[in-house]
Amino acid sequence: MALIKWGCWCALNPAHVGLVPDGLRRWAETNGATLTDAYRRGSEKVIEILLALQRNDVQTVSVYNLSRANLGRTDDELEAVYTASIYFFNALIPAHFDPATTSVRLHGDRSLLPNEYVAAAQHVESASADDGFRINILAAYDAADELGEAYLRAQRDGCDIAEAFEIGDVDLVIRTTPEPLLSGFLPYQSQYAQLIFLETPLNDLTVRHIDDLIEDYRRSPQLRGR
């Protein structure tokens, strides 16, 4: 992690931020918008947040797009999510991030996602670097599946299971809803993360909000159980 000196002690930047975008259905109802419009605006807002986090020297961001349980939602909502996500992969990521310095990876059960969604994700994955600023997208994700895959990988490679997870430890989780729930978001990796639950919905979040949250993190001791 990058260090910033504050007087006589050093503050840490979060190296890995988890983003749980939420409140889009409520935002649509409050603002008289369609679900399609709400989720499209949400995908653009996620890009703003990613850029703000990158500017604050965050190295990795994991975005919770869809849990496997979310796939039980109504067809109209899922269609809005898929349409916005494909727009995110096909248009927004290429327009705002240099593939030579950005790594994009999709995590989850791809067999449960529409072919067009998977194709868009795979295209941006193949065009991106192997390192640099890392963007993890979790879709059709389930923590039990991830744990099982990590166990099998550890058995195959002869390593500790902690080393077999494809996604590393999270330092800060931001969820744009006041309900204090992780909803299955990277539970192993988030065990020592600072958790932030916001009353501001995703589509009303500003870059200033993100800057302030990172500043607050830097001012907080990060003891990780010690």
Residue 39 belongs to a domain with what CATH number?
Answer: 3.40.1180.10
pLDDT digits (tens, 9 = 90+) for 126-157: 999 999 999 999 999 999 999 999 999 999 99
pLDDT digits (tens, 9 = 90+) for 7-23: 434 568 899 999 999 99
Counted domains in the chain: 1
Q: Is residue 3 part of a domain?
A: no
Contact 20, 183 (CB under 8 A): yes
Q: Is residue 2 part of a domain?
A: no
Q: Is residue 143 part of a domain?
A: yes
Instruction: Report the distance separating Cα 124 and Cα 151, nearest Å.
Output: 28
How many Cα atoms are found within 13 Å in the side-chain-facing hemisphere of 120?
A: 20
Q: Is residue 12 part of a domain?
A: no
Contact 78, 117 (CB under 8 A): no
211, 163, 203: which is closest to 45 by C-alpha? 203
How many CB atoms are located within 10 Å of the residue 87 CB?
A: 16
Low-confidence ranges of the chain (pLDDT < 70): 1-11, 222-226
Instruction: Report the distance separating Cα 26 and Cα 104, nearest Å.
Output: 29
The pTM of this model reads: 0.92
| Start-to-end CA span in the chain (Å) | 18
Task: Quote the pLDDT of residue 37.
Answer: 97
Q: Is residue 24 part of a domain?
A: yes
Q: Is residue 5 part of a domain?
A: no
Q: Is residue 210 part of a domain?
A: yes
Residue range(s) defining the domain that contains residue 192: 18-218
Task: From residue 130, give the alpha-carbon distance in Å to each of 64, 115, 134, 135, 181.
Answer: 21, 24, 9, 11, 32
Task: Quote the pLDDT of residue 5.
Answer: 42
Q: Is residue 177 part of a domain?
A: yes
